[in-house]
A and B are shown apart, each in its own frame.
Chain A
Amino acid sequence: METDIYLLVEHLRGEVAEISYVLAAAAREMAGATEGRTVALLFGHDIPRLANGLDIDQVLYVEHPALAEFTSEAYLRALEGILDLGAPRAILFGHTSIGMDVASGAAIRFNYPVVSQVKQLVTDGDQLGFVSQICGGKMMVEGAVPEPTALMTLIAGGYHPEAGRNEHTPEVRRVEPPALEDLAIELVAYHEPEAGDVDITKAPLLIAVGRGLQNEGDLELVEDLASALGGAVCASRPIIDLGWLPITRLVGKSGKNVKPEIYLALGISGAPEHVEGMTDSGVIIAVNTDPDAPIFDVAQYGIDTDMLDLVEALNAQLQLAKAV
């Protein structure tokens, strides 16, 4: 029976992504049940020590210039080289731009089952179970981690990244790189987010708008409220995809993690990919017409009403206060 728990270290431009620490924390819990080791898979060029801060027992390092920047194609080939050495009980990936690109492809290539959107692992003796959060955070599903080897993509929020840190120097074992010529995917360039816009990570008060905002024109009312309160406007994904606000204003996955003193969430349902970016805010007030919206599980205060009605009422009150 396989016992080791592998995890793919996600890194970009020399920095390990926070999800990797979440994976390390989960792997440690799983390896406790299987009595195996936790092993970090590190693919890259000239970075053998990058996994040093991770709480893991061993690093399997594949070194090659073609692995300097992430592409799913090169990573899948490197993974093949790793799995030639033997199969683990599980390989953990982030449910992220990197992890999701690799995990499903690996599922087909190596014929392993894959479990998505995993939030928590459940252990019972040496038995491993998973709990995934689906339907935008509205449902949880529980099942057994398929045997003998399963691939899993983990969402943020189930394990604290701090639990996956350990300032030690794990053993690094180099694994011979596979053939990495004739690749069909090539990195051309990185583009930084546009500078010059409001830095939402610095605002003490954020007003976040989501799908509940029906018309782009109504954004002005929200901007008015933000400026009256000395805050900035940010958004969840649908508003960015509609092009109503630039991506620099996105909170959550693919966007920024924010910790303002006050977070006013307007018309935001509270999908996990948004919540992971704002859950550490001081006071969270949520406004949504759906009383079952998951955002009310995160917020301290909730209002079951249309966001625009409340924005107008707030603007009117502030006007009134100014007039006095």
Chain B
Amino acid sequence: MMNIVIPANLVPDLVEELTVDETGAALDMTWVSLILNEFDDHAIEQGILLKERVGGHVTVIVPDVEGADDVLHAAAAKGADRLVKLTGDFEAGINNHALARMFGSFLEESDPDLILTGVQAHDDLDGQVGPLLAGSLGFPYVGYVAGVVPENGSVTVRKEYPGGLIAEMNVQTPAVLGVQAADEPPRYVAISKIRQAMKTTTIEEHAAEPPEESRGPAVHRMFPPDVGERATMLEGDLDEVARQVLRILDDAGASV
């Protein structure tokens, strides 16, 4: 039975307005809500799909930040077997090197066959958790994975390249995969099932200390992008705006 572990993380929700804090070098987290990294959501889905298809045991581990319990309960409702919260000091933020090291301390004890994690996160600044983890565990790594088929002692994966080209690769396990997209879109799970999972599952804790030296780049300044010329905003009621759009299309040569 395949032992699958999914280290996942939460990231700022980009739907909300992002502002810089008083240090001038970090996001102001006061009003930011954290959501599951969308690629980690695909990694969780891929893990559950593998379990459903060929059998397996799925562990999801997330750092103990706001929203972690919700992510874990939702994963349980989808079919994850074991929920783990990585405890430590995440108040001041944590870089991917340190996070990978902390995940690593759990993974060394859990003897996984396959580690699935999102290929990247939108706030990555010091590399990606997947290949950092693979490097520190000495496992092979393939990123941009969109499709996983287990074989005996290995997995066959579909790796994406630009232009839609896919490389089919065989990877000996244990291995780390950076998931771009699961075989199927992440499933919807009803609130009632999540509530049920809250009652019937327990969340374990794994304490890990961040490494003393973490090799991320120092940020001196954070700022919104320097907008050159912004778009001319079309105003008016919808019909008026639609007429303006059609005029622009007509001027640009569309067959309106």
Q: How far is the CB of B75 from chain A (nearest CB, A)?
A: 18
Q: A241 an interface residue at 8 Å Cβ cutoff?
A: yes
Is B218 in contact with A144, judged by CB distance below 8 angstroms? Answer: yes
* CB of B132 closer than 8 Å to a CB of A: yes
Q: Report the interface size for chain B: residues with CB under 8 A from the other chain.
A: 87
Does residue B81 face the partner (Cβ distance < 8 Å to A)? no
For window 99-120 of B, CB contacts with A under 8 Å fall at 119-120
Contact A193 B238 (CB under 8 A): no
Q: Which of B10-18, B62-70, B86-94, B197-205 contacts A (4 or more CB under 8 A)?
A: B10-18
Question: Known: A229-B254, A262-B254. Contact between A193 and B132, CB under 8 A?
Answer: no
Instruction: Report if A3 contacts B (CB, 8 A).
Output: no
> Can you name the residue of chain B whose Cβ is closest to the Cβ of A106?
B135
Please state if A304 and B233 are interface contacts (CB–CB under 8 Å): yes
A310 within 8 A of B: yes
**One of B14, B142, B158, B165 near A12 (C-beta < 8 A):** B165
> Which of A26-34, A81-89, A250-258 lies at the interface?
A250-258
Instruction: Assess whether A269 is interfacial by the CB under 8 Å rule.
Output: yes
- The answer on a CB contact under 8 Å between B131 and A101 is yes
A138 and B132 within 8 A (CB)? no
What CA separation (Å) do A301 and B247 show in the bound complex? 12
B42 contacts the other chain (Cβ, under 8 Å)? yes
CB-defined contacts of B238 to chain A, threshold 8 Å = 305, 309-310, 313
Known: A241-B185, A303-B245, A314-B245. A17 touches B162 (CB 8 A): yes
Distance (Å) between the CB of A175 and the closest chain B CB? 22
A301 to B230, CA, bound (A): 8
Is B143 in the interface zone, CB < 8 Å from A?
Answer: yes
Stretch at the interface among B1-9, B53-61, B167-175: B167-175
Given known pairs A97-B162, A139-B223, A229-B256, the reply for A69 and B167 (CB within 8 Å) is: yes
Q: A135-B123, A143-B219 are in contact. Are A299 and B231 (CB under 8 A)?
A: yes
A104 touches B135 (CB 8 A): yes
Interface-side segment among A41-49, A56-64, A160-168, A290-298: A290-298
Q: Is B29 an interface residue (CB 8 A)?
A: no
| Bound CA span A86–B156, Å | 36
Residue B207 at the chain A interface, CB threshold 8 Å? no
Contact with B along A124-155 (1 / 0, CB 8 A): 00000010111111111111111000100100
Given A101-B142, A135-B12, A143 and B218 contact (CB-CB distance below 8 Å): yes
Given known contacts A105-B141, A243-B185, A304-B233, is B126 in contact with A114 (CB within 8 Å)?
yes
B189 CB-CB contact with A under 8 Å: no
A267 to chain B, nearest CB (A): 12
Which residues of chain B are within 8 angstroms of A187 by Cβ–Cβ distance? 167-169
Do B166 and A191 have beta carbons less than 8 Å apart? Answer: yes
Find out whether the CB atom of A107 lies under 8 angstroms from the CB atom of B215: yes
A138 engages B18 (CB within 8 Å): yes
Interface-centre pick from A138, A231, A238, A299 (highest chain B CB count, 10 A): A138
Known: A113-B216, A138-B225, A189-B168. A255 touches B246 (CB 8 A): no
Q: How distant is the Cα of A109 from the Cα of B223 in the complex, in angstroms?
A: 32
Closest to A216 in B: B185
* A324 proximal to B (CB < 8 A): no
Chain A contacts for B253, CB-based, 8 A: 204, 261-262
A135 touches B249 (CB 8 A): no
Residues of chain B within 8 A of A115, CB atoms compared: 125-126, 217
**Other CB < 8 Å A-B pairs besides A142-B223, A321-B256, 14 of them?**
A72-B140, A96-B162, A105-B134, A114-B126, A116-B126, A133-B225, A136-B14, A184-B171, A185-B170, A229-B255, A255-B163, A283-B252, A300-B231, A302-B233
B interface list, Cβ under 8 A from A: 12, 14-15, 17-18, 20, 25, 27, 38, 42, 96-97, 119-120, 122-128, 130-132, 134-136, 140-144, 156, 158-172, 175, 178, 180-181, 184-185, 215-228, 230-234, 238-239, 241-243, 245-246, 248-249, 252-256
